[in-house]
Amino acid sequence: MKVLKFGGTSVGSAQRMKEVAKLITDGEQKIVVLSAMSGTTNTLVEISDYLYKKNPEGANEIINKLEAKYKQHLDELFATQEYKEKAAEVVKAHFNYIRSYTKDLFTLFEEKVILAQGELISTNMVNLYLQECGVKSVLIPALEFMRTDKNAEPDPVYIKEKLAAQLELHPEAEIYITQGFICRNAYGEIDNLQRGGSDYTASLIGAAVGASEIQIWTDIDGMHNNDPRVVDKTEPVRHLHFEEAAELAYFGAKILHPTCIQPAKYANIPVRLLNTMDPTAPGTMISNETEKGKIKAVAAKDNITAIKIKSSRMLLAHGFLRKVFEIFESYQTSIDMICTSEVGVSVTVDNTKHLNEIMDDLKKYGTVTVDHDMCIVCVVGDLEWENVGFEANALDAMRNIPVRMISFGGSNYNISFLIRECDKKQALQALSDQLFHNKK
Ligand code: ADP
Ligand code: ASP
Ligand code: MG
> Quick check: 314 pLDDT over 70?
no
Find the 218 Cα to ligand 1 centroid distance in Å.
7
**21 φ/ψ angles, rounded to the nearest 5 degrees:** -60, -40
According to CATH, the topology of domain 295-436 is VC0802-like (3.30.2130)
- The rounded distance, in Å, linking the Cα atoms of 230 and 233 is 10
Please, are residues 324 and 330 in contact by the beta-carbon 8 Å criterion?
no
In sequence order, the 6+-apart residues with CB closer than 8 A to the CB of 357 are: 331
* Fold matches, 2-219 and 295-436: no
Please tell me the predicted confidence (pLDDT) of residue 347.
97
pLDDT at 386: 87
For residue 295, CA distances in Å to 255, 291, 407 come to 19, 9, 16
β-pairing, 271-275 vs 213-218, is: parallel
pLDDT digits 0-9 by tens, 261-270: 999 999 999 9
Mean pLDDT confidence for 219-244: 91
Instruction: For 180-239, give the DSSP string.
Output: SSEEE-TTS-EEES-TTTHHHHHHHHHHHHT-SEEEEEESSSS-BSS-TTTSSS--B-SE
Rounded mean pLDDT of 61-73?
Answer: 98
pLDDT of 440 reads 64
Span 296-317, average pLDDT: 88
Write out the residues surrounding ion ligand 3, Cβ under 5 A.
7, 196
| Residues near 105 by beta carbon (within 8 Å), at least 6 away in sequence | none
Output the pLDDT for position 233.
Answer: 87
Q: State whether residue 122 is helix, strand or coil.
A: helix
State the closest ligand 1 atom to the C-alpha of 217, by its place in the atom list counted from 1. Answer: 3
Hey, what CATH topology would domain 2-219 get?
Carbamate kinase (3.40.1160)
pLDDT at 389 (0 to 100) = 86
- pTM comes to 0.90
C-alpha of residue 337 to centroid of ligand 2, in Å:
27
DSSP character for 55?
A: -
Nearest-atom index, ligand 1, CA of 234: 24
**Domain coordinates of the chain in residue numbers?**
2-219, 295-436
State the ligand closest to the CA atom of 255.
1
362-393 pLDDT tens trace: 999 999 999 999 999 999 998 888 888 888 99
